[in-house]
C-alpha cells in the first residue's frame, strides 16, 4: 500500500447558541451558492452550449457578494462556499463520465445540511478546533483518539434531521496497515432470516433493528400526522420521529462495522455476490426487511476495509445460481422458491439453502482468484446441458487512493 490511508474521523459536538446560528447561516449560504452555480451552468449550456467550470463559477461568486441582494454571502466564511463550487464541479464530472445523474438543486428540507472547511478556515491547536468566524473552539466529544501528530486536511460540519451536530475530520492515518497474510478464505451469502451465512456453516443472526422499534416509530409517526403544519408541536413531533430513525440507523451501522471488521481481520479472501439491491427493494413484501438488513452498506464497508488491510474481495456476478446449484455435484435445480430452506439433490446430498449458497459462492470466488477474472466455474443442468445464460463471475478490487 503506497502512502498512508486517508480517512475521516467523525465526532459529535455541542455548539453554543452563537456557534449554532453561525453554522446555520453557513449551511444556508452553501445551499444558495450551489443552487445559483447550478442554475448558471445549466443556463449557459441550454442557451449557448457553453460549459462553465469551477473558475467561472468562482468569479461569479465574487460578483454575487458585491450585489445588494446577495451581500449576506460575505458574512460567512468563504471556504465552505468555494468548496461547494468544487463539489458541483465533481458532480458534473461524474455526470459527463456517466457515473451519476445530472446534478440536482439542494432543498432546505430534504438536503443534508453541511459545510466543508479547508485548512485555511480553521485552527487546530492543542487538541482544540476553532472554525473561521468563531471566537471559541467547538465542544467536541472525542469518542476515539486521532492519530498522533495528525495534520487535518478538511473539517466538515453537519447537522442531521434529528438535530444532532457532527464534525468529520479528514486526515492521513498511519495506523492503517496491511494485515499479515492469512490462508483463510470465506464465502458470504446475505439474507433476511440470517443476516450473513458463511461457507464454514456459521450463521450470523439478523438483529432486525427497525422491527424492534417499529411500534414506537408507528406511534410517533401517527402523532406527527395529527399535528398542524407550521406549528411548534409539529416540529417537536418531527424531531421525535427523526431521533427514532437515527437510533435505528446507528445500531445498524455499529453492528455492520463490527461484523465487517471481524471478517476482514480473519480472512485473506472474501467472496460475495453483486446484488441489485435497488431492484430488490421494489418488492413490496421484502422492501422493508431488505432495507433493514443493510446489504448495500455491508458491501461498502467490506470494500474499503479490505482495501485498507490488504485483503482480496471477490464480487461474483448477480446472475450466478448460488442457491440452485448443488455444491457437491454441480447440478443446477430447475426452480428454487424462497420458501424452500432445505433441499435434496439427485446425488444424495442434503443442503441447507443458505449454507449451500455460501459454499458455491466461495468455490466460484476461488476459481476467479486462481485462474483470473472471466473464468466460469464448471456446472451442469439436470438435463446435462451447460448453463449458457450464466454470466461469468467478476472480480472487483478497490485500490486505496
- Of the candidates 289, 288, 295, the one whose C-alpha atom is nearest the C-alpha of residue 260 is 295
Torsion angle of C-alpha atoms 119, 120, 123, 125, degrees rounded to 10? 60
- Of the candidates 248, 246, 257, 250, the one whose C-alpha atom is nearest the C-alpha of residue 301 is 257
Pick the catalytic residue: 22, 210, 273, 292? 273
What residues pair up with 271 in beta bridges, in sequence order?
187, 314
Pick the catalytic residue: 22, 116, 189, 292? 189
Torsion angle of C-alpha atoms 301, 302, 307, 310, degrees rounded to 10? 140
> What is the grid cell recorded at 7?
480517512
Active site annotation includes 354: yes
Given a contact cutoff of 8 angstroms between Cβ atoms, the answer to whether 166 and 115 are in contact is: no
Active site annotation includes 189: yes
Give the C-alpha separation, 88 to 199, whole Å: 44
Given a contact cutoff of 8 angstroms between Cβ atoms, the answer to whether 76 and 87 are in contact is: no
Distance spanning both ends of the chain, measured CA to CA: 9
Active site annotation includes 172: no
Q: How distant, in Å, are the alpha carbons of 84, 102, 192 from that of 96?
A: 18, 9, 37
| Catalytic residue IDs | 189, 273, 354
Amino acid at each position: 500500500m503506497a502512502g498512508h490511508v486517508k480517512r475521516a474521523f467523525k465526532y459529535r459536538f455541542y455548539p453554543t447558541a452563537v456557534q449554532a446560528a453561525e453554522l446555520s447561516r453557513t449551511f444556508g449560504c452553501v445551499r444558495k451558492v450551489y443552487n445559483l452555480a447550478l442554475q448558471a451552468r445549466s443556463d449557459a449550456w441550454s442557451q449557448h452550449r457553453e460549459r462553465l467550470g469551477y473558475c467561472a463559477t468562482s468569479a461569479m461568486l465574487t460578483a454575487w457578494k458585491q450585489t445588494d441582494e446577495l451581500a449576506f454571502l460575505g458574512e460567512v466564511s468563504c471556504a465552505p462556499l468555494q468548496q461547494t463550487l468544487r463539489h458541483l464541479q465533481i458532480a458534473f464530472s461524474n455526470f459527463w463520465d456517466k457515473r451519476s445523474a445530472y446534478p440536482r438543486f439542494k432543498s432546505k428540507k430534504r438536503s443534508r445540511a453541511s459545510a466543508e472547511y479547508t485548512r485555511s478556515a480553521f485552527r487546530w491547536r492543542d487538541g482544540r478546533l476553532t472554525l473561521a468566524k468563531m471566537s471559541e473552539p467547538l465542544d467536541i466529544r472525542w469518542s476515539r483518539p486521532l492519530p498522533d501528530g495528525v495534520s487535518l486536511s478538511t473539517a466538515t460540519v453537519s447537522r442531521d434531521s434529528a438535530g444532532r451536530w457532527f464534525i468529520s475530520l479528514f486526515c492521513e492515518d498511519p495506523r492503517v496497515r496491511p494485515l499479515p497474510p492469512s490462508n483463510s478464505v470465506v464465502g458470504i451469502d446475505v439474507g433476511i432470516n440470517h443476516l450473513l451465512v458463511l461457507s464454514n456453516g456459521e450463521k450470523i443472526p439478523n438483529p432486525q433493528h427497525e422491527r424492534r422499534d417499529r411500534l414506537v416509530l408507528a406511534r410517533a409517526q401517527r402523532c406527527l400526522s395529527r399535528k398542524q403544519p407550521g406549528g411548534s408541536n409539529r416540529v417537536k413531533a418531527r424531531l421525535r420521529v427523526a431521533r427514532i430513525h437515527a437510533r435505528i440507523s446507528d445500531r445498524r451501522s455499529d453492528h455492520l462495522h463490527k461484523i465487517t471488521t471481524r471478517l476482514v481481520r480473519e480472512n485473506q479472501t472474501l467472496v460475495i455476490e453483486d446484488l441489485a439491491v435497488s431492484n430488490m427493494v421494489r418488492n413490496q413484501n421484502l422492501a422493508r426487511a431488505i432495507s433493514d438488513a443493510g446489504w448495500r452498506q455491508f458491501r461498502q464497508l467490506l470494500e474499503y476495509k479490505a482495501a485498507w488491510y490488504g485483503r482480496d474481495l471477490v464480487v461474483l456476478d448477480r446472475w450466478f445460481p448460488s442457491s440452485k446449484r448443488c455444491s457437491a455435484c454441480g447440478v443446477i435445480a430447475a426452480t428454487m422458491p424462497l420458501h424452500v430452506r432445505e433441499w435434496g439433490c439427485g446425488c444424495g446430498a442434503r443442503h441447507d439453502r443458505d449454507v449451500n449458497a455460501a459454499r458455491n459462492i466461495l468455490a466460484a470466488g476461488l476459481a476467479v482468484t486462481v485462474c483470473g477474472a472471466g473464468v466460469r466455474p464448471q456446472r451442469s443442468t439436470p438435463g446435462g446441458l451447460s448453463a449458457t445464460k450464466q454470466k461469468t463471475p467478476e472480480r472487483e478490487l478497490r485500490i486505496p487512493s
